[in-house]
Amino acid sequence: MADYQVIARRWRPQRFEDIVGQDHIVRTLRNAIETERIAHAYLFVGPRGTGKTSTARVFAKALNAEGGPKIDPSDKSDISQSIMNGNCLDVIEIDGASNNSVDQIRDLREECQYAPAQCTFKIYIIDEVHMLSASAFNALLKTLEEPPAHVKFIFATTESQKVLPTIISRCQRFEFRPISVEVLVERLTQIAKSEKVTVADGALYSIARLASGGMRDAQSILDQMISFCGENISQDDVLDVYGLVGPDRIQALGNAMGTGDYPKLVELVETFSSEGRDLYRVLQDVETLVRESLMEAIQGGGTSDKLGASLPSESLLRMLDALQQSEIALQKGLSEKVNFEVALLRAVEASQVRALDNLIRELKGLKEAPEESGKKKA
C-alpha cells in the first residue's frame, strides 16, 4: 500500500499564488525579485502554521530558478522539485532548536564560504531561530552583516522578542498575520471539493475557528475529521470530537449573562460540563460574543441588544474585562467547572455595577433639576 500523505503536506504552497492570507508579504517578495532588490537576510515572524517555512521555500525556489531569479519558476525542473522536497544541496533547512550551539554555527559560517553546487544562491533557512544560544547568535553576527554574495539567510520564528536586536537589525522583517476565518473557510472548501468530501458550512466555520488563524492546524483538523466521519462531515461531528459548543448555545449563554438569568446560566454550565465540552474554549467564544456586542454598542449609539437586553458599552466593557481576567484561573485551577461558573457570575456582577463617576453625575443632575424648577416658579 502506498504511503499516505496528509492534507497539510499535499496542499503545501508550491508557488507565490498558493500562499493565502499573507498578500502583503507575497507582494513585497515578488517586487524584490522583479526589481532585483534582494536582501541578504530575511526574518519571518508570526504564529505557527501561517506559512513562514512554506514561503521561505517558495522564495528560495524563485531565487534559484533556472535563468532567474524568477517569480514564476518551473515546477518541473529538478532544482525546483528538490527545493520543495527539502533535499536540495544548496537550500539548507536547519532546526534552530536542535542546532543551537556555537560550534554548529561556526561550522555553518565556514560552509558559507564555498560556492553553491548546483544553484545560483546558497540559502540557509533556520526555523525557530529564537532557540539559538546567545553565543551562537554572536558567532553569526559578522557573517550575517557581510555574507558572501552567493549566500542568503531566511530566519523563521514564533517568538521574535527572543531574537537578539543585533540580529533583527541586520534582517528585513516580515510579519505573518493569523489567517482570517473567511480565508480559512475558502481554502478548506477548495480542499474538501478536491478530496470529494461533503462538509457542512457550519463544520467548516467550526474548524476554522478551532485553527486560531493557522492554515496548517485547519488542514490537520479537516484531515482528522475525514478519518472520523468519512465522506460527510456535519457541524455536530466537529463539535463533539473537539468539545466545542455551537453558536446557538453560546448565544443562549450570552443572553443569560446579559439578562442576569443566574439559574439559566448555571444550568447551561452544568450541561456543558456533563457533555465534556472544552470550557476554556467556551469562555473564549463568550468573550468573542461580548466583544461583538461591545463593538455594536460603540458604533450604534452606546447600547447593544445582542445579549438579550439593552446594555450600555460601559457594562459590556466591564463584563469583557472580568471574563479576560478569569482565563488564567480557568486554565490552572483545580476545578475547571467551578472556575468557569465563577468567571461567568463575576462577569455578570461586574456588568451590573455602576461606575462611581456616572452615579455622581446622575445624582448631581437630580439635585440641580428641582433647584432650576424652583427658580422658574419664583
Give residue 378's pLDDT band: very low, low, confident or very high (50, 70, 90): very low
Q: Which DSSP state fits 333? A: S
Q: Which of 42-51, 69-78, 280-289, 318-327 has the lowest mean pLDDT?
A: 69-78
User: Hey, where are the domains in the chain?
Assistant: 7-175, 181-242, 247-356
Distance, CA of 227 to CA of 229 (rounded, Å): 6
User: What is the number of alpha carbons within 13 Å of residue 106 lying toward its C-beta?
Assistant: 4
Distance, CA of 37 to CA of 169 (rounded, Å): 18
Rounded to 5°, the CA angle 247-289-337 comes to: 75
Selection from 63, 137, 129 nearest residue 94 by Cα: 129
pLDDT higher for 361 or 173? 173
CATH for 181-242, among 3.30.70.2740, 1.10.167.10, 3.40.50.10490, 1.10.8.60? 1.10.8.60
Q: Per-residue pLDDT for 330 more than 50? A: yes
Place of cell 466591564: 318
| pLDDT in the model for residue 369 | 60
Q: Per-residue pLDDT for 64 more than 70? A: yes
| pLDDT in the model for residue 371 | 56
| pLDDT in the model for residue 1 | 45
Q: C-alpha cell of 188? A: 478548506
Burial class of residue 308 in the structure, from the number of CB atoms within 10 Å of its CB (0-12 exposed, 13-18 middle, 19+ buried): middle
What superfamily does domain 7-175 belong to in CATH?
P-loop containing nucleotide triphosphate hydrolases (3.40.50.300)
- pTM > 0.85: yes or no: no
What amino acid occupies position 316? L
Selection from 173, 153, 170 nearest residue 56 by Cα: 153
Query: Stretch 72-88: mean pLDDT, rounded?
Result: 85
Could you tell me the fold of the domain covering 247-356? Zinc Finger, Delta Prime; domain 3 (1.20.272)
| pLDDT in the model for residue 301 | 82
Q: Per-residue pLDDT for 35 more than 80? A: yes
